[in-house]
Structure 1
Amino acid sequence: MKSFFKIFFATLLAIFIFCTIAFFILLGIGVAASSSDKPVLNDNSVLVIDLSKSYHDFENPSFSLNLNIKKLSIQPPSLYDVIRMINYAQSDKKIKGIYIQASVNPNGFASSEELRRAISEFKQSGKFVIAYGATITQKAYYVASVANKVYTNPQGGLEWHGMASQMMFFKGLFDKLGIQPEVFYAGKFKSATEPFRVTKMTDPNKLQTSVWLGDLYGTFLEAVAKSRNIDSAQLHLLANNGSIQTAGDALKYGLVDSLIYTDQLENNFHQLLKTKSNDKINFITLDKYAEAADYKSFSGKDRIAVVYAQGEIVDGTGDNDKITSDKYVNLLRKLRKDSSVKAIVMRVNSPGGSALASDMIWREITLTKKIKPVIISMGDLAASGGYYISCNGSFIFAEPNTITGSIGVFSITGNAEDFFKNKLGLTFDVVKTGPYADLGSIARPMTEPEKNFMQSSVDSIYKTFTERVAEGRKKPVSYIDSIAQGRVWTGKRGVQLGLVDSLGSLNDAIKYAARIIKTTDYRISEYPEKKSIFDQLFHSDENNDMISAKIMTKELGPEMSKSILLIKNMQTMINIPQTRLPFEFEVR
């Protein structure tokens, strides 16, 4: 009985503490939510764009609580939010200029292009744009170079060495472990399977990579050449010769305007703002500006739905960072039946994934297109399954440096019999009702008939894929097959090949949708709908995944943690036909 009361009172105390904490958390949230006061912007404010932050197409707020419950840590605004804020700031009398913090840039090339274009348009208002980084990486410089002035630290520097694409190969590891991957693919350029079957890039993969990487580099050089008034051939030569090694070199060849420290940078801002040296400069972060500025329009007679399809494409249900078939099929069906929605703009940013899930989403887009326009806007990636769900859109936009195409299929299983037996001392035996009852088991090698089944399935899906694309793009299947074969293209080449209708941003896609439905009086509704603060706080699975990923990156470093995540993600591919981009590549 004594033990019972100890447990009882301990449980009661735990419940009391939990309820008390929950009460204060909800009270703090309620106070924050009920406050309708917006931050007040002062005159002579400068909008700060921190390129070190990742601006995704879709952001579900994630909150971290500490003892100061008034402080909620929220993720950065979405990319489209940032673009709208920059556009709004052009006519905001409180905002006198933009300060680009330009040390690193984790954003993709297409996202960087949208940021760069918006900042370039901002300059047309006559307001200043200043960029500074103690050291400036190449991708950060791509955005920063559009500024009126670009500065770096005298002891810092500017990265300028050209571009390289690097892939990781696992075959050597599997050989050492005694694991034999069984790989089936359709498309001679379908390099997604190469890490499992070879130890370096095949010739077709090197060919396609040199083409799309050259396109990215060409767009990069042309943009910088125009902004800095330097011939692109000269820029190319500087990289090839390794001419930019120090901050002084960057100044000598005109890539930056001056070498200064941060105190000197502040003096420059004072001169531009015509303020005194001891005055505080009103730097406004994007987070704060999002609260203060009315950059979103909530009025309008006609409604255009913007659907963000971001991440890998997977079957069933899943996390917010993936395109799950159930969620997107239901969402598109709901929007199709909603008479108040006059058009849909689908923002696709995906390397692909499950072939079945891709086809299910393709089907809903096809049905929806018969009732209302479905305009596709491609982000950094809209390849393989990402292109599958895009190909039958009413009209397709992409950025010049969007990665798209990769129309191909693969499937992976494996034979780990030697690994289990020789490395772990494990053996297996089986009783089955037929010769193929354990098809796909990794405890034994596949038979020739089983291999034929797998390859036949992959070939059938590839045939369907090319037929879907041919139907959507109104091209012969033979032509689509000739430019498919798993080959990766840039958005710029996609227009030339007929895979894309026009170069343009998400904003361009929305304006086009409005033009199609013949309206200028419209409002935007964004989907999937963001979760409430309460759901985010108590959705432990996603929070745990995010915390685990951060811890792993911190302890092991980005390279090692990325390798571990790549191996972990293989689990989602085993025995599931995939329409996805080459397994992993990195552009440096």
Structure 2
Amino acid sequence: IRKAKNNDMIKGIYIDSRSMSASMATLAEIRNELVSFKESGKFVVAYADTYTQNGYYLAAIADKVAINPQGSLDLHGLASVPMFYKDALDKLGIEMQIFKVGTYKSAVEPFTQNEMSDANREQVTSYLNDAWSFLRADIAEARSLTADEVDALANQMPLVQPTEFLLEANLVDTLLYETEMKDYLRTLLSLEESKEIPSATVANMKSVTTKTVKKTDNTIGILYAQGNIVSGTGAANIQDKYMVDQIEKLRKDEDIKAVVFRINSGGGSAYASEQIWKAITDLKKEKPVVVSMGDVAASGGYYIACNADRIVAQPTTLTGSIGIFGMIPNMEGTAEKVGISTDVVKTNEFGDFGNITRPFNDQEKQLMQNMIERGYDLFLTRCAEGRNMPKDSLALYAEGRVWTGNQAKEIGLVDELGGIERAIEIAAEMANLGKSYVVFEYPKMRTMIEELLDRSTEDLAARTVKEYLGESFELFMLLHDIRNQDYIQARIPYELNIH
């Protein structure tokens, strides 16, 4: 979009909104870029047979929003629909042994309950309402409606209404078939009816070269951290040794004057999070570090962010979730169901600790809970020091509770609302670079061959298992991940399915 804005050959943007899959924070960043594009004096128009709610959120800011006369538009609000596996696990003879700190730390609930706890329902209600108020306000502003009017329309389920309803409600500007929409584009471009419309897709624009940027002694490094936080040396997800190595390279590079740490993670291993926290702390001693939060930077994702000089988040970013849990399966019941028995010989009292074919005894449970509580206390300490808040004060906003970026700013967990561009501006200001700086991204993009070698076998295996298990695949992967993850986890409550 930025390339198109600065390219004199590009006269406008045509949004084909038939399919748009992204979270709200990502959509907000794209929307802001489209608004900036419009402010340059170029046009933005949108068309679709069917607008999803995500697609309509972006399309609403267009100068003209068109829809096929027989099309549909989805606008219904937000919902979170977590799945619960307790009864399924009971049938399989699997008991989840849970150790946690935090009233709102609900990542374990799908394995121990059949519905949300009151505390979890409270936090989900809070952040969904806050996120919807943001999305609703943007749509209202774009379409010259009030927030109450948007709510009223959403409650009438536009998806099943005739397109005349959409037009009358000012959700769209006109009803056009696709051929008529192309004629309208020709009019905007002053083209004859027989002329083809010259166009470039997003993929085309991505390959358009701009002025070559060379690294200088005034460089801002953008370090990307995406996925689950795990222990390891690879580039997939956020593996602690690999990430620490990247951070160390940025620290030692004298040309790098500031770092923007772009985080998109719901957390993971508490141990791995601590290692990355330490590397960021060392980096911060030598140059400014500004965190830019993406769709989610929660639990372990917040752990690795908390000690930055400044934290920038989108209003709908999911963050916080300062809490710790451990979850270890006991499959004694499963073994009994299939006729498997075990015996043990050990040299010491805890020689068979972690054996999943028996439950923990009381002493082992207490030792595990003690370890979880130490981890939580360390997490609180890191966050309190990073945010320059008394530990007791920060504890009020911890307990595993998830906050939107907007809420997090109000309680001091983030400093400012904005996207990655704002984070870069802050980094430049802190490093006294003025406007004379270049931006380089890390880690360097891997070749296609490297990606294929790293992922193809794993992806093929996953696809094969999914084909056989169908809807049970999600439960299988959850159990697979639990079996292979560290004992102590700092992870957002669950994967949100926002419809």
Shift of 1:278: 1.5
Quote the Cα distance in structure 2 between the aligned partners of 1:300 and 1:432: 61
The answer on 1:137 being equivalent to 2:48 is: no
Closer/same/farther in 2, CA of residues 297 and 508 from structure 1, 3 Å limit: farther
Taking the TM superposition and a 5 Å limit, the aligned residue runs for 1:126-525 are: 126-242=41-157, 245-246=160-161, 247-294=163-210, 297-298=213-214, 300-320=216-236, 322-422=237-337, 424-519=338-433, 520-525=435-440
Contact 1:168 1:585 in 2 (8 A): no
Q: Which runs of 5+ in 2 are unaligned?
A: none
The answer on 1:572 being equivalent to 2:484 is: yes
Normalized against structure 1, the TM-score is what? Answer: 0.82
Closer/same/farther in 2, CA of residues 236 and 500 from structure 1, 3 Å limit: same
Alignment partner, residue 5 of structure 1: none
Alignment partner, residue 544 of structure 1: 457
Quote the Cα distance in structure 2 between the aligned partners of 1:441 and 1:115: 49
Quote the Cα distance in structure 1 between the aligned partners of 2:234 and 2:405: 29
Larger radius of gyration: 1
Contact 2:312 2:416 in 1 (8 A): yes
Contact 2:84 2:114 in 1 (8 A): yes
Aligned-pair Cα RMSD in Å: 1.8
Letter in 2 for 1:474: N
Quote the Cα distance in structure 2 between the aligned partners of 1:486 and 1:286: 39
> Mean Cα displacement is larger for which, 346-355 or 504-513?
504-513
Shift of 1:161: 1.4
Closer/same/farther in 2, CA of residues 350 and 271 from structure 1, 3 Å limit: same
Contact 2:217 2:254 in 1 (8 A): no
Shift of 1:546: 3.7
Shift of 1:496: 0.4
User: Could you tell me the percent identity over the aligned residues?
Assistant: 39
Alignment partner, residue 21 of structure 2: 106
Closer/same/farther in 2, CA of residues 160 and 498 from structure 1, 3 Å limit: same
Contact 2:47 2:67 in 1 (8 A): yes
The answer on 1:586 being equivalent to 2:491 is: no
Q: Which runs of 5+ in 1 are unaligned?
A: 1-85
Normalized against structure 2, the TM-score is what? Answer: 0.96
Closer/same/farther in 2, CA of residues 214 and 447 from structure 1, 3 Å limit: same
Q: How many residues align?
A: 497
Name the SS for the 1:107 alignment partner. Answer: coil
Shift of 1:100: 1.2
Shift of 1:91: 2.7
Quote the Cα distance in structure 2 between the aligned partners of 1:233 and 1:552: 47
> Mean Cα displacement is larger for which, 144-153 or 457-466?
144-153
Closer/same/farther in 2, CA of residues 223 and 550 from structure 1, 3 Å limit: farther
Letter in 2 for 1:205: N
Contact 2:324 2:375 in 1 (8 A): yes
Letter in 1 for 2:310: F
CA shift digits 1:154-202 (9 cap, x unpaired) = 2220011111001111111111111111011110000101011111100
Letter in 2 for 1:509: A
Quote the Cα distance in structure 1 between the aligned partners of 2:460 and 2:441: 27
CA shift digits 1:351-388 (9 cap, x unpaired) = 00000000000001111101111110000000000000
Letter in 2 for 1:416: M
Letter in 2 for 1:130: V
CA shift digits 1:48-87 (9 cap, x unpaired) = xxxxxxxxxxxxxxxxxxxxxxxxxxxxxxxxxxxxxx12
Shift of 1:479: 1.1
Quote the Cα distance in structure 1 between the aligned partners of 2:362 and 2:476: 32
Quote the Cα distance in structure 2 between the aligned partners of 1:295 and 1:507: 19
> Mean Cα displacement is larger for which, 353-362 or 544-553?
544-553
Quote the Cα distance in structure 1 between the aligned partners of 2:211 and 2:166: 37
Shift of 1:244: 5.0
Name the SS for the 1:346 alignment partner. Answer: strand
Name the SS for the 1:165 alignment partner. Answer: coil
